A and B are shown apart, each in its own frame.
Chain A
Amino acid sequence: MTLVEFVDFSFKYLEADSLALKHINLKIDPGEYIVVTGPSGCGKTTLCRAINGLVPHFHRGYVGGHVYVDSKDTRNSEVAELATIAGLVFQDPSNQLVTLNVEKEIAFGPENLAVEPKEIRFRVEDLICRLKLEPLRDKHPHEMSGGEQQRVAMAATLALRPKILVADEPTSNLDPQSAQLILDLIADLNRQGMTVLLVEHRLDLVSNEASRLILMDKGSIVADGAPRDVLVQDLCQEIGVGIPKATQVYKQLKRRGVTLGRVPLTGKELAALVKEARQA
């Protein structure tokens, strides 16, 4: 059964002159790992907000079409109800954090959903451990660095155990090793059944785990498919999207008459393909 479905969905913010989303048709099945990318301003955050109901309930504007989340039409659902299904990690973490310390921040969501206290304790400790938040446990969210806030915001959303994690550039403030830690955890949770929709510009970090890559431009979906198939298209660079360096090298070699066995996404893959080609 489809978990999220956009049916000819369009949206224009009250204060804007043009549509932020134009006739979006999109089905997300349980267990998928989808990466959404596209130029700044193309509508990625608006797409995320439409899944958890912030669009149109908090951000008001013109709405066309429908979004169904777990078969509920978001137009007729409360944001609080949708929050139990779709957990959103905000693009700017400082806008998401609301409580007095990290422990309380992680417990806040499940407490509001009336989860059993024992279960809440377990989730809090589990996430503090997995996201390496121990040294920050007692800190106030506004007394943390940007990257620390972003890790806490991720933990607070994962504590809700959402059916679908909607994460809007969740690694933008993270150092490369923390980014990898978070992405490994997300991939792990995805293998255990959590559906994932991730907005990212750093495609070399995520494309290998993703089952599907959606490319947006000017409010529309312009490509949707397996990451390698989408990234190798010239369209990406034409609209200003950066593709992984390994994929760029692949394309450049092809122009010079050398075609490797398949499209690489990482440096390691690129090296393996070159070794194969040498042996052939």
Chain B
Amino acid sequence: MIQLDDVYYSYEGLYTALRGVSLEIEDGERVAIMGSNGAGKTTLIKHMNGLLRPQRGHVFLDGRDTRNLSVAEMARIVGLVFQSPDHQLFLDSVHKEVVFGLKNLGFTSEEIEDRCASTLEHLGLTGFAERSPFTLSGGERKRVALACVLATEPRVLALDEPTIGQDAQQKDRLAQLLLDLNQKERTVIVVTHDIEFVIEHFPRTVAMADGRIVADGSTSSVLSNDKVIELCSLAHPQVTLAAKALRQSFPEVPERITSMSQIEEVIMGLLEGGTYS
């Protein structure tokens, strides 16, 4: 379990990036953190694996105050993928990068190779093992950064903007991999601006603005709250916008429509109703 208790953080004492953040995430949850650029999402997620330490308040991992834990201890529990892969990748082959993360975790060399190969395959990177990460496309490089952490199957996955640069198919594959890990009791935390990815795969959303948590609850309630959307620079998904526009003419259209199948049924109902009435 991860607990943040009234956490404050300022860069160089000047820019206050977190202003009293409290948050609890249970084992096995899937949580999305969303919100405005500069809201403090990256700063927050870096507190979860000890890269940043709270200047006020506390961060607890499994009930232990992280002040008493080393970065190495925390990194074993929480695997963090950076927003920019350039801050994470430093070796001259994809294979070396993925193996590097697996090496100190007590696996046999056979297990290491198996995990490396299967993670690369799941992320559409088969055939890239011997390439230097610096000769890959942007989306490919991001997937290598993800592979390094996902291959180790840490208890908590903390992923900063995992869908950047990914096409629909790669996103689906990534989601499948995350759901599989979640099935194995892994906690999955993502920071993302990708509303549809959140609606489809994350039951809980934390919305941030200006260094604070503005809303925390079920994804459908947080993302259908107009005030939160405005305050956290979010937007309604297109299907919700369609439903809102339809509701102006047809009050029978229900509120809180977020999925394609829901809007499809609404439209079928309206059009068939129209023909028969």
Tell me the A residues contacting B by CB distance below 8 Å.
13, 15-16, 38-41, 45, 91-92, 94-95, 143-148, 151, 168-169, 172-180, 201, 204, 237, 240-242, 244-246, 248-249, 252-253, 256, 258, 266-268, 270-272, 274-275, 277-278
Question: Which residue of the partner chain, among B136, B244, B246, B264, contacts A252 with CB atoms under 8 Å?
Answer: B264
Indicate if the CB atoms of A45 and B274 lie closer than 8 Å: no
In the assembled complex, which residues on chain B have CB atoms less than 8 Å from the CB atom of A38?
167
Tell me the B residues contacting A by CB distance below 8 Å.
11-12, 15, 35-38, 41-42, 83-84, 86, 124, 131-132, 135-140, 143, 161, 164-171, 193, 195-196, 232-246, 249, 260, 263-264, 267-268, 270-271, 274
Question: Which residue of the partner chain, among A16, A176, A201, A271, contacts B246 with CB atoms under 8 Å?
Answer: A271
Question: Which residue of the partner chain, among B12, B15, B83, B169, contacts A146 with CB atoms under 8 Å?
Answer: B83
CA distance A180 to B167 in the complex (A): 20
Question: Which residue of the partner chain, among B15, B164, B167, contacts A240 with CB atoms under 8 Å?
Answer: B167
In the assembled complex, which residues on chain B have CB atoms less than 8 Å from the CB atom of A272?
245
A147-B38 contact in complex given A241-B168, A252-B260, A274-B246, C-beta closer than 8 Å: yes
Question: Which residue of the partner chain, among B232, B237, B242, B271, contacts A278 with CB atoms under 8 Å?
Answer: B271
Indicate if the CB atoms of B242 and A41 lie closer than 8 Å: no
In the assembled complex, which residues on chain A have CB atoms less than 8 Å from the CB atom of B260?
245, 248-249, 252
In the assembled complex, which residues on chain B have CB atoms less than 8 Å from the CB atom of A91?
138, 165
Question: Which residue of the partner chain, among B234, B236, B239, contacts A175 with CB atoms under 8 Å?
Answer: B234
* Given contact pairs A145-B42, A177-B234, A178-B233, a sample of 5 additional A-B residue pairs in the complex whose CB atoms are under 8 Å apart: A91-B138, A151-B37, A201-B165, A267-B240, A275-B246
CA distance A128 to B234 in the complex (A): 22
In the assembled complex, which residues on chain B have CB atoms less than 8 Å from the CB atom of A237?
168
Indicate if the CB atoms of B238 and A176 lie closer than 8 Å: no
Indicate if the CB atoms of B263 and A249 lie closer than 8 Å: yes
In the assembled complex, which residues on chain B have CB atoms less than 8 Å from the CB atom of A267?
236-245
In the assembled complex, which residues on chain B have CB atoms less than 8 Å from the CB atom of A144?
38
Indicate if the CB atoms of A244 and B238 lie closer than 8 Å: yes
Residue of B with least CB distance to A274: B267
